[in-house]
Structure 1
Amino acid sequence: MNFDEILIDIGGFGKFQKILYVWICAPQIFLAFHMLVSVFTGAVPPHLCRSMAPLKGLPDFKNFSHLTGLDGHPDLSCSAFLNHSSAAAPEDGHPAVSCQEGWEYGKETFQSTIVSEWDLVCSNASLNNLGSSIYMFGLLVGALVFGHLADKYGRRIIILISLALQVTFGVAAAFASNFYIYTALRFMVGTSISGVIMNAFVLGTEWTGPKHRMLAGIITDYFFGFGYILLAGVAYLIRDWRKLQLAISAPSFLFIVYIWVLPKSARWLMASNQNQEAWDLILRAAQINGKAINEDLKMCQINQTEEKTILKRKHSFFDLFRTPTMRKQSLIVFYLWFVNILVYYSLSLNISDFGMNIYLTQMIFGLVEMPARTITLFTLNRSRKISQLAFLTVGGSACLLTTFIPSNFSVVRTVLAMIGKFGITASLSIIYIYSAEIFPTVIRQNGIGIGSMCARIGGVLAPMMYLLRTISPHAPMVVSGLCPLLGSALTLLLPETANKPLLDTIDDVEGAILRLSSTFCEGRRLGPYKLMMTRDIRALLLGL
């Protein structure tokens, strides 16, 4: 008997699953905190070289608002001037030299950030972006390490370990003595974040019936969006970076209760031949859901004969590129994974570029997450292809349009960036499902796994997009606009998968016809389509 049929018998999304999702969704709030807190802890306050204080003709030393060089005005923040004791201003021809006496920082918005504490400005400015990229690299390492360990030791234990690492290294980062220790601790937080995100989602999905899986996945996204919004309020109240880091990390100690309340995955237990423990959990779930379950179901084992027949030939990631159609589709999907994450975090981490209040912009960007994820529930069933293409076009076009808006129209630029964020967020939600349907069963796990790696590479590069401003102030948004537009054009070359049977082999992709036999359990027929859906969901989750 297929495990999905067991879930239908005991309640695919009953009281047991709803309680489980309370435990799964709560950490999502803190995951959003850690993912986006660098917007505030790594913010660059207005700054001025101390040696320029006595200069007459310059803006008031306490007024840092005129020091930016990104809008065409002279950038005075990184230079001192020879003969600065004179009354002459720099435009009178006094040569500029590098600042040797340190900087003064404006405190109108932040009491302190890692930038003001460790002078990550001017020649050291790239270190700030490098630190964010190293954190994102931690997400990639965590996905590889904790994904493998979860398959071997189970979802629950890896979630517990990841939560423990998250709170330990998160709190430790608040007491870091220098930037390099802080970056190393944040790297460890990033690895733990992947362990929680991936395995909590897997655990919830493996306990949820097929009819509710998409909705259940969206629920966790909503809580991430709620954390996105809540972070703006927390950061507004706490302007010191150490206190803010401590505030988003210390409450995670409460997750110690998960030792007693978080269940294991019965599906994983059965796959690991721990059938007795699995059936005990199934009976417990049925009891909580108020469903009567026939004890004779124990005699019906999960029939994996068909799956073993389909997967009997060993496949590797090289099969993604051996044949022309599969190669074309794989490369396009990998690019879509990359560009979605690249632009999503480029917009999320550089909200100070749009000229509005940083806290208000953060809240608005968080609010955009809710309708963006909701709308995909209505568009996906009509067309995966058109939905992906349309949202990429919306996101890319809006980002590109911001480059034509003067910097003094900050509200207009923020609205366009918000529309861009809306499109990219919706596109990101779609690519998870779309790519799982494009790859055939025999290489689906490999395809999703490589796609996830491409996404993490995009995450690593996203903080570095800020450095493109040295080329042009508009360069980051030009890239954020053109890359999704290219992705929307490439999506035209992908097949439509909505309301169509899922493919099992590479021959299916290349146009061959293959009929799958049905599986029986006590005379009850299990359609091949349902069995394929079960494998596909699991392959998707294991690959994330």
Structure 2
Amino acid sequence: MRDCDEITLFLGEWGPFQKSIFILLSISIIPIGYSEMSMIFLSDTPHHHCSLPYLISTSSNLSQALPLEEVNGQLDYSRCTRYKRLNSTEAHFGNETERCLDGWDYSTEHYISTITTEWNLVCGDAWKVPFSLSVFCMGVLTGSFVSGHISDRFGRKLLLFLSMAVQTISSLIRVFSGSWEMFVILYFIMGLGQICQYIAAFILGNELLGDSSRLAFTTLGLCVFYALGYAVLPLCAYFIRSWRILLLVLTLPGFLYIPLWWFIPESPRWLLAQGRLKEVEDIVRAAAKKNGVTPPSVIFREEDSAKLMVPPP
């Protein structure tokens, strides 16, 4: 049986077709970079202390109502406790402390809002912030297991665009989350979509490109554009200080990738393994036309796919 690379050798290694595939698949990775790291800004915890509504109408100050504690080697007002009032009418305090019964006041020096300030993920609920990242990683782990089976069953291209849709839609719904629980469930789904997209792009690039361009794609294409997503994130977060607006801005570019469906073909190797010779012939002939080369009159034969169609023992 002839190898797919051997059959399509006439296309060349680095023509317009290969260059377009390299660029399009690489830029599809950019949203993964900034979406994955966005929780750094979405869930950051600004400086805060117990809310003290009864101080507004009195001459008392924070030093009388809040105990001091050491934070990062410096004395600061406690973030999770306050002194108990001696009576309910005056702002007089004893030495006994209590929890923040009236919520928290958060500094707006760096952020207008984060999910931490939105749902008070501090003190007793501070564990929810790192747990959110753990849930995301669970989604990535789940996607790592199922992505291969989905791509083998339904195709690399379908998995790529399906996972991009899952990632974009789940991220858009997260903007309107009404609770931390809803937010974190959608974050799991987003993690699943991200790893499926990355794996699908990786496989599709390797199966569409030639030997000499595969190494550049997997080391430069994917990694550089992934890092570019990282670089875009701080710039957006610098100008946008509300977590919902920031997440919306990071989500909307996902819809710009819809037209790529008509420019990125399915993997010829996968189509050949499915016995879909007519489709793989059309893709290779279109690539040959784009590269300005003349393909053979017959590119693929039945025996080229017969062995690939036999299931492994």
**Equivalent position to 1:58, from 52, 57, 63:** 63
**What SS does the corresponding residue of 2:49 show, helix, strand or coil?**
strand
How many residue pairs were aligned? 301
Q: Is 1:165 aligned with 2:166?
A: yes
Q: Is 1:183 aligned with 2:184?
A: yes
Partner of residue 399, structure 1: none
What amino acid is the match of 1:133?
S
What amino acid is the match of 1:263?
P
Q: Cα deviations across residues 247-274 of structure 1 (Å, max 9, x unaligned)?
A: 1112211222133222111011111121
Tell me how far apart the structure 1 counterparts of residues 195 and 182 of structure 2 sit (CA, whole Å).
21
Q: Is 1:79 aligned with 2:84?
A: no
Q: Is 1:258 aligned with 2:263?
A: no
Q: Is 1:33 aligned with 2:52?
A: no
Unaligned runs of 5+ in 2: none
Q: Is 1:236 aligned with 2:238?
A: yes
TM-score normalised by length of structure 2: 0.87
Contact 2:115 / 2:243 at 8 angstroms: preserved in 1?
yes
Contact 2:41 / 2:243 at 8 angstroms: preserved in 1?
yes
Tell me how far apart the structure 2 counterparts of residues 305 and 293 of structure 1 sit (CA, whole Å).
24
Within 5 A, what are the aligned runs for 1:131-170? 131-170=132-171
Tell me how far apart the structure 2 counterparts of residues 295 and 67 of structure 1 sit (CA, whole Å).
81
Partner of residue 287, structure 2: 285
Q: 1:60 to 1:206 in 2, by over 3 A?
A: farther
Partner of residue 15, structure 2: 14
Contact 2:15 / 2:291 at 8 angstroms: preserved in 1?
yes
Greater relative contact order: 1 or 2 (C-alpha under 8 angstroms, separation 6 or more)?
2
Contact 2:32 / 2:226 at 8 angstroms: preserved in 1?
yes
Deviation for aligned residue 1:70: 3.0
**What SS does the corresponding residue of 1:243 show, helix, strand or coil?**
helix
Unaligned runs of 5+ in 1: 89-93, 315-544
Partner of residue 4, structure 2: 3
**What SS does the corresponding residue of 1:120 show, helix, strand or coil?**
coil
Within 5 A, what are the aligned runs for 1:479-490? none
**What SS does the corresponding residue of 1:97 show, helix, strand or coil?**
strand
Q: Percent identity?
A: 27
**What SS does the corresponding residue of 1:293 show, helix, strand or coil?**
coil
TM-score normalised by length of structure 1: 0.51
Partner of residue 96, structure 2: 95
Deviation for aligned residue 1:67: 7.2
Contact 1:7 / 1:209 at 8 angstroms: preserved in 2?
no
Tell me how far apart the structure 2 counterparts of residues 270 and 302 of structure 1 sit (CA, whole Å).
7
Q: 1:207 to 1:97 in 2, by over 3 A?
A: same
Contact 1:68 / 1:77 at 8 angstroms: preserved in 2?
no
Within 5 A, what are the aligned runs for 1:77-476? 77-83=79-85, 85-86=91-92, 94-217=95-218, 218-299=220-301, 301-302=303-304
**What SS does the corresponding residue of 2:63 show, helix, strand or coil?**
coil
Partner of residue 71, structure 2: 69
Tell me how far apart the structure 2 counterparts of residues 57 and 181 of structure 1 sit (CA, whole Å).
35
Q: 1:68 to 1:30 in 2, by over 3 A?
A: farther
Tell me how far apart the structure 2 counterparts of residues 22 and 220 of structure 1 sit (CA, whole Å).
10
Contact 1:162 / 1:195 at 8 angstroms: preserved in 2?
yes
Q: Cα deviations across residues 279-311 of structure 1 (Å, max 9, x unaligned)?
A: 2211211221122332344348449979x9xx9
Tell me how far apart the structure 1 counterparts of residues 144 and 157 of structure 2 sit (CA, whole Å).
16
Tell me how far apart the structure 2 counterparts of residues 185 and 266 of structure 1 sit (CA, whole Å).
34
Judge which range, 243-252 or 142-151, deviates more.
Answer: 142-151
Q: 1:75 to 1:140 in 2, by over 3 A?
A: farther
Contact 2:26 / 2:222 at 8 angstroms: preserved in 1?
yes
Deviation for aligned residue 1:57: 6.9
Contact 2:106 / 2:117 at 8 angstroms: preserved in 1?
yes
- Superposed CA RMSD in Å reads 2.8
Point out the structure with the larger helix share. 1
* Greater gyration radius: 2
What amino acid is the match of 2:165?
A
**What SS does the corresponding residue of 1:48 show, helix, strand or coil?**
strand
Tell me how far apart the structure 2 counterparts of residues 147 and 44 of structure 1 sit (CA, whole Å).
38
Deviation for aligned residue 1:171: 0.8
Q: Cα deviations across residues 32-89 of structure 1 (Å, max 9, x unaligned)?
A: 121010000010111110139845473999xxxx97623253561111112473478x
Tell me how far apart the structure 2 counterparts of residues 11 and 27 of structure 1 sit (CA, whole Å).
24
**What SS does the corresponding residue of 1:267 show, helix, strand or coil?**
helix
Tell me how far apart the structure 1 counterparts of residues 300 and 40 of structure 2 sit (CA, whole Å).
52
**What SS does the corresponding residue of 1:292 show, helix, strand or coil?**
coil
Tell me how far apart the structure 1 counterparts of residues 10 and 217 of structure 2 sit (CA, whole Å).
18
Q: Is 1:23 aligned with 2:37?
A: no
